[in-house]
Chain A
Amino acid sequence: MGLDNENPTLFEKSEERIVSEKDLDDNEVEEFDSREIFDLIRGITDPEHPLSLEELRVVDQNLIEVEDSMNIVKVLFTPTIPHCSMATLIGLSIKVRLLWCLPPRFKISVTITPGTHASEHAINKQLDDKERVAAALENTHLSTVLNKCIATA
């Protein structure tokens, strides 16, 4: 089977987050911020290539919005090409990764960056539907692929 995008453009990876002295102080409290969310999802592997979502610039720290006090996390992701058939799968893996790794108090929304995919609305709707996400996780084939993507995160 041919690949949707056989020769994608590569971007640089960002440095590891630097641990500050404040991080090591037992009494300080750190809230969730966009970088922390970004760190959770940047290592997810693209279903087509052995490359991370960060390298392909599918996820970007600037497109993540977090409000800890309001319990809101919003992630926008950008498929490499407008007709990418893997967009749903990528969105699903981001969503599942966040569901597993964030405290349950957060309302997580994962959507496509406006104007970057042909069937944007359909995919956004699908990702926002709890039932469909749950159903996708029940599917053996789909969950194998998902696990493979998330394993590297």
Chain B
Amino acid sequence: MAYVLNEIVDVVKNGNDIDSTCEVVSKEISDKRLTFLQFVESMEEILTSTDKDIRLNGVMAFVAVLKKLPLDFFTPEELDYISQFLCERFIDHHSFVPVVLTGIEYTVQMKNITKQMIVRYFNTIMPHFHCQSQLQNDRHTFYCILQYIFLNRLDDLRFMGPDFLYCVISSMDGERDPNNLILLFRILPQFLRNFPLGHLAEETFDVIACYFPIDFYETEESKITRDELATNLSRCLTCVEDFADFCIPLALQKLEASLKVAKLDSLHLLKLCCENFDPIKIKNHIEEIWRILKMIIMTDTEDSADEVREAAISVLTALLYSLTIIKGDNEQEQLSNFLDIILKSSNRFLLDTQATLFIPSIKLLCSVGKTSNYACLKIANKVYLILLDKSDVSKTEIIRIIEAMGLITNMCIQMSINLSSIPGLETRWEEICCYFLLYAQNELPDIKMSALRALNISTKILNNSQRQNYYCILIQLIKSDIPDPIRKDTLSCFKEAAKCFNEEVNREIIQFNLNILNQSNDIELKSKWLDALCCLGNEEYFFSLISDSLCANISEKQAETEITLKCLRNLVKNVVNINLLHHFAFNGRLLNFILTTWINGIKSCADFKIFRNETILEDVSFVVNSIVKVIKESEQLQILNQFSQYFNDIMNTKINFKTLSDIQQGIHSYMVILLESILNSLKTNIKLNNVTLLIENCIELSTYSNNSICNLSASRLTATLINKYIDGDENDFLIDKLKLNLESYLNLSSLYINNVIIQISWITKSLSLKSHKKMLQWIDWSLNLLADPLYGKIMTQCFKMLTQTDDGYLNKECFCSVKLLYKQRIFCYVIEPLISKYNTSPELTKENYLISILYQMDGNTYVTLSPYFSKVLPLLLQLLSPEQVYVLQSLQTFCNLLESKTPVLEDYLESFIPKLLNLSQSSKYMNIRIVALQCLYNCCDYSLIKLLPLKKQVISELSKCLDDKKRLVRKEVVRTKSRWLSVDIVKDDD
């Protein structure tokens, strides 16, 4: 015990290692092996030393020991002495202040601290402490003390009144450190709200307000953001009612600044003012506020002002909310007066419907109207009457009037206001929808469209007879030949009507016309109705109807079936409500109907074109595939079990295609398309029997069938099956066997070679996707096949296929195994052999390698390309001359590289820009000239410093192209030249 105390005297005297020794002492004290008194007594010599540095060390040790003791360690009596001691040291010497402040910070948090001690602290601090002459850290300590006091002991200091308040504001007056400021902005509202400000309110406000608007540049290290500071500051400025008289003028004054952040900050502050201050106070400034808001909302012409404008509108809505809550005799009077002001200033814009500000002012009024029912009624009344009474209107005016009325109607619907309850409109409200209905029948497409949009909004408020009228209009529109945009609007109206009044729409529109639809021979008409029906795919109510009418229109008649399948295809492709597909698969029996129809048709060799037509078969396959894809695993299994019996010939018996009769060959060829549609998207847990046999049969079919869609289906199915089901070492032999078979097929008659090559490509792709260990073998094989003069050209397709992803096949949605970065892996593997072979092979096969390289480059991003760039670039540059055959293709690749801002190219700008300029002038083909110009356009994305030396040359060369004989080329020249002319223009924000 004595040892520690002896030691501490020496340690403190020398000033070394005070902290660790004090820690030992604190431990001893808190373990009651030593008392605090003993510790202080042992320090007597130091604490009373005449040398102030030694005394300072003593105080440091004192505070250090204190800080390590628990908060409830001292009794009130002990604490009293301690606080007295600290207060005396505080005024001892200015260098003691920082350390004593830490001591105070810790002791105020102690459990037994009393009001008297806190008052003593502040009585010492107030006259002797000038916060802003301290260092940042010490100021921070003081603010931390304040934070604790504000939160827990504010009542103890309340009697000090303005003195304490003055102490607080003078301590922060002039603070510049962002860390301290953010702390202050956070703690001040708590204090200001709970402490009477009295005559110091304005002074207090000024001390805080001088930071507004915040001018702070964030750096990467700063943990504080400008927004954070700004939000907290505006909260301080609006936290007490006393500030209202100063705050609103401040916000309005800063709002006139030209800086965007200042404007936004001021608008935000103004919004808080409206939300927090007494509406009566706001009322006094209302005209001033509106004058400025009006200027921003209505007439600010800056392009970038949208954000500001939105903020201004939100202030306006806050203002209106605030006005609605003014209570008293004239409850509505204030609001009403203000609304009058707003309406008066928008009035002149409302009168001229063709002017720029017509729609913006309608939008402004709509946001105003959404703040209260009263405002909504008042605005609706005013605007509707102005618009309804307009006569002699031109075509463009009608469009805008309808749009405006639509917006106002939307506002009323959102506020649940009945149009008939709007004063002044009791007798006329029906005119509004009649107006829309009238113009929906107008001949001019633009008017028709805007009327339809307005009707779409007002569907719910149409009365009975108007609805009947509306349905007639919709029927008429659906039936007639109208341009696509109008049909789109018509159908969305139909959809909305069906959503709100499903039974009525079913009765009045659908049932009535369905008979015509089913009996008519007019294909066009049928297609229109089916399209319309299909757009109701979101509503459960219509599921059976859709399913039934689609089934009813699939028949032997090719044209009808074709359009029905087209509608169905679009429906399943863009389906939003997945339940519809479930309905098709089970309850609606649509899937069943389609599959059985085609299976029976193909098997019985029915003499109808629909079972042979490529587009139809493709649509059928797409529809079946899309439905199977979304249903559950058990449901997939159910479908598979139900239909697999029909595919026995392909799935369970070995096919020898050449020995089959022509009829059998045909049946097999078409059946495989249906089989693919079912198997393509099965989940991998569903096991197939005899996969190997099936794969071999598919290869047989893909090789010998002479029907291109069947070839494609069969080879793609092979690929899917291999990807999903062929795993593990035991199946390696199968892959090898397939390879041997295909190799032998290559020696067959040249008739089939195309098919074999495509099959090889598909299998290579399938193996690559899942990174099968045999993958590289197959890729090597493909590379070698490129050298063949006979079929090397076809093989290039393989290298295209490897980089492409198909929406419906061999992807994760079809539950195939797709490894990350497989494309990149292949690229890295093939690119070097391709380049070296290109350089060494004879002219005849050279181009095969070249095309493959271009395909591979197109399919990969710069990151993958970059390591090989130095090798590929010379090849590309070589190609950029007018006499090359592949110039267009390589230019396209080059253009893509430039578009993605490939960094490496920046260093070669001066080598290829002249080549591009040459191409754009001297090529015979307009397409080449256009792409070359696009390349030049994209060059401008590179850094200015590289572009400037070339600018003069480019512009003068481009001027020569301006007289090109083709207009499309000229258009491109103008675009490119303008871009080059403006590369060195300094933007406003720079």
Contacts and interface: CB of A to CB of B under 8 A. Distances in A.
Contact of B968 (A10, A19, A100): A19
Nearest to B970: A36
Interface in B332-384: 348-349, 352, 354-357
B978 A153 contact: yes
Contacts of B302: 50
B interface, how many residues as a size bin?
A: 20 to 34
Given A19-B968, A40-B974, A103-B959, A3 B299 contact: yes
A102 B962 contact: yes
A107 interface: no
Interface in A1-53: 3, 6-12, 19, 23-24, 26, 28-30, 36, 39-40, 48-51
Interface string A116-151: 000000000000000000000000000010010011
B924 interface: yes
A29 B967 CA distance: 8
B978 A7 contact: no
B355 A9 contact: yes
B301 interface: yes
A101 interface: yes
Interface string B900-927: 0000000000000000000000001110
Nearest to A2: B299
Interface string B869-913: 000000000000000000000000000000000000000000000
A49 B356 contact: yes
B396 A30 contact: no
Contacts of B970: 36
B977 A30 contact: no
Counting contact residues on chain A (CB < 8 A from B), the size range is: 20 to 34
Contacts of A115: none
Given A8-B356, A9-B355, A151 B982 contact: yes
B967 A7 contact: no
Contacts of A153: 978
A91 B770 CA distance: 64
B925 A26 contact: yes
B606 interface: no
Given A10-B354, A10-B356, A26-B926, A150 B978 contact: yes
B374 to A, nearest CB: 29
Contacts of B981: 100
Interface SS majority for chain A? loop
Nearest to B973: A101
A114 interface: no
A9 B354 contact: yes
Contacts of B357: 6-7
A103 B348 CA distance: 47
A125 B396 CA distance: 36
Interface in B948-966: 959, 962-963, 965-966
B751 interface: no
A101 B970 CA distance: 9
B927 to A, nearest CB: 8
Contact of B977 (A12, A101, A151): A101
B985 interface: yes
A103 B985 contact: no
Contact of B356 (A7, A12, A105, A144): A7
B966 A23 contact: yes
A23 B968 contact: yes
B303 interface: yes
A9 B356 CA distance: 6
A105 to B, nearest CB: 7
A114 to B, nearest CB: 25
Given A30-B966, A104-B959, A150-B978, 20 more contacts: A6-B299, A7-B348, A7-B357, A8-B356, A9-B354, A10-B355, A10-B356, A26-B926, A26-B966, A28-B966, A30-B967, A40-B974, A49-B356, A50-B302, A100-B978, A100-B981, A101-B962, A102-B962, A103-B962, A103-B963
Nearest to A143: B985
B130 to A, nearest CB: 47
Interface of B: 299, 301-303, 348-349, 352, 354-357, 396, 924-926, 959, 962-963, 965-968, 970-971, 974, 977-978, 981-982, 985-986
B301 A3 contact: yes
**Which 4 A-B pairs have CB atoms at the shortest separation, nearest pair first?**
A103-B963, A29-B965, A103-B962, A30-B967
A142 to B, nearest CB: 13
A146 B6 CA distance: 84
B639 to A, nearest CB: 47
Contacts of A10: 354-356
Contacts of A100: 977-978, 981
Contacts of B963: 103, 105
Contacts of A9: 352, 354-356
A10 B355 CA distance: 6
A8 B968 CA distance: 34
A147 B966 contact: no
A30 B965 contact: yes
Given A3-B299, A12-B396, A100-B978, A51 B968 contact: no
A7 B357 CA distance: 6
B977 A147 contact: no
Contacts of A101: 962, 974, 977-978
Contacts of A36: 967, 970
A38 B978 CA distance: 16
A151 to B, nearest CB: 6
A7 B301 contact: no
Nearest to B348: A7
B967 A23 contact: yes
A1 B188 CA distance: 40
Contacts of A29: 965-966
Nearest to A150: B978
7 contacts: A3-B299, A7-B357, A28-B965, A36-B967, A48-B301, A101-B974, A147-B982
Contacts of A147: 982, 985
B965 A7 contact: no
A3 B982 CA distance: 28
A26 B355 contact: no
B352 to A, nearest CB: 7
A126 B971 CA distance: 29
Q: Which of A23, A101, A105 has the most CB of B within 10 A?
A: A101
B396 to A, nearest CB: 6
A7 B349 contact: yes
Interface in A84-110: 100-105
Nearest to A46: B301
Nearest to B965: A29
Contacts of B303: 50
A7 B982 contact: no
A138 B974 CA distance: 22
Contacts of B986: 144
Nearest to A147: B985
Nearest to A48: B301
B431 to A, nearest CB: 27
A51 B925 contact: no
Contacts of B396: 11-12
Contacts of B301: 3, 48-50
A134 to B, nearest CB: 16
A94 B702 CA distance: 63
A50 B303 CA distance: 6
Nearest to A97: B978
Contacts of A40: 974
Nearest to B974: A101
A103 B978 CA distance: 14
A29 to B, nearest CB: 4
Contacts of A39: 971
Contacts of B355: 7-10
A147 B981 CA distance: 10
A84 to B, nearest CB: 15
A49 B357 CA distance: 11
Nearest to B986: A144
Nearest to B961: A103
A113 B93 CA distance: 86
A100 B970 CA distance: 12
